[in-house]
A and B are shown apart, each in its own frame.
Chain A
Amino acid sequence: MPKGLIHSKNDNVCILTNDVKKGEEVICAYLENPSEYVIIKSSEDIPLGHKIALSDIKSGEKVIKYGRPIGIATKDIFAGNHVHVHNIKSMRWSKK
């Protein structure tokens, strides 16, 4: 059973639908066609609802979800990393 879902084909993050432990291999299914999936090894404990990187995202590169940029990486993110406010920021309203 998938433990994560991906909104759109070009997304570089997957949303975890279960709590995931460090080192766990996570099946992430595509919402558009759930029989398609990718397997990604989690580099840390990540809670349900949070994002895991599907590929390496360099600092300054866009994080893609729903097929759209949702923010910019503030440091290098590696596949399997937890993606959240500690390593991405909004492209709006942000003073830093």
Chain B
Amino acid sequence: MSTIKGYVRENGSVGIRNHVLILPLDDLSNSASIGVSKLVRGTTVIPHPYGRLQFGRDLDLFFHILSGIGSNPNVDSVIVIGIEENWANKVADEIVKTGKHVEVFPIEGNGDLKTIEKASRKALGMVQDASEKHRTEVDISSIVMSIKCGESDTTSGLASNPAVGVVVDRMIDHGATVMFGETSELTGAEDIVADKMANDKLKEKFMNIFKEYDSIIEREGVDLLGSQPTQGNIKGGLSTIEEKALGNIQKLGHRKVNCVLDYLDPLEKAKDGGTLCFVNTSSAAAEAVTLFAAKGSVVHLFTTGQGNIVGNPIIPVIKITANPKTSSQMTEHIDVDVSDLLDLKISLEEAGERIYQYMLRVMSGRLTKAEVLQHDEFSPIKLYISA
């Protein structure tokens, strides 16, 4: 059994980072939020373009994502800034349930400058408090993580994805939780994923989610070549969505999928043993990683062939490649190189071990390259147009 050094939160969840989060409820609150982050060192701000005139399921998903991000175990405390108080409170009330310190600042009736001053005074104290929280040794079974690939090529399906599969198997066997998604990108391999479901109920739920996505694509009457696979995928040798999907699912390892989550479903861990969870997500890198983080993932394994550089403001994204050209041309983005696998110089098991050991270091505090390069892509999934 492995251990890491993490932050144990009030509700027992385990984080591997210790953010004081400045969370704008809506696009209008970005400026004030950024203002606070500039005044107060040690805060993390996540600007975004949404939060006005959304409705229905799309609005629910928006609140789910913002509340989830604030509730993430990598976050110590939160300041929510919103143009008006009601919606800001709605998000704050959810985050408070985790036991975190949360403060809300409405801009209406105050203006940016007064809001920035008041919020900054609170943020100052939060950063000082957070600085006294310390890492303790915790079992890896308490970790919730996620996996996704991007700018994939054929080396992903050959080597980096199956190597991540080795890590996934190991994490599940340790009792940890792993989430995967990329609904549209399972096309051509959806039957294989369905067969990995632990029971018929999960299988049916998964297939319904998959068919919903498929029907959107059918309804739009589009040929997705160039978007799915992407131009980068095609450059790297992937010719069809089926080929991409079969490479994608190499990441899943060999355990049963015992959890299927639609957009709004909260994460439920298995009562005993590990949890392998399908999460309905778009296949766009920043959107998927953001949703995983909102559902509680604290670290993400990201395989790439041609060189995707995505990061996330609150969870470390570990980049893995098996493409030797990408590894040498984009060295500042790649954390783990498993290209030796292509030349059969190492075994799949050894490649998995390389990734696993690196992940343990990141969980205990080592920064990823995406973190150092300030890749703070935060991108809520939007389901449809605003009112």
Contacts and interface: CB of A to CB of B under 8 A. Distances in A.
B239 A49 contact: no
A49 B155 CA distance: 6
B344 interface: yes
Interface residues of A, number: 34
Given A31-B158, A85-B239, A90-B240, A68 B246 contact: yes
Interface stretch (B43-51, B219-227, B277-285): B219-227
Contacts of A51: 154, 237, 239
**Which of A1, A7, A16, A96: most chain B CB closer than 10 A?**
A7
B343 interface: yes
A16 B342 CA distance: 9
Contacts, number: 97
B327 interface: no
B237 A50 contact: yes
Contacts of B236: 49
Contacts of B228: 93
Interface string A73-96: 000000000011100111111111
A63 to B, nearest CB: 8
Contacts of B221: 95
Interface string B203-227: 0000000000000011001111100
Interface in A1-30: 1-2, 5, 7, 15-17, 29
A91 B305 CA distance: 24
Contact of B240 (A7, A49, A88): A88
B217 A93 contact: yes
Given A2-B344, A15-B237, A93-B217, A49 B323 contact: yes
Interface in B125-171: 153-155, 157-158
B243 A49 contact: no
**Which of B187, B225, B323: most chain A CB closer than 10 A?**
B225
B88 to A, nearest CB: 41
B239 A83 contact: yes
B158 A5 contact: yes
B154 A49 contact: yes
Contacts of A7: 157-158
Contacts of A65: 243, 246
B266 interface: no
Contacts of A96: 223
Contacts of A34: 344
Contacts of A16: 237
6 contacts: A1-B343, A31-B158, A47-B237, A88-B239, A92-B188, A95-B221
Interface of B: 153-155, 157-158, 187-189, 217-218, 221-225, 228, 234, 236-237, 239-243, 246-247, 305, 323-325, 342-344
Given A47-B237, A66-B157, 7 more contacts: A17-B342, A49-B323, A63-B239, A68-B188, A91-B242, A93-B228, A93-B241
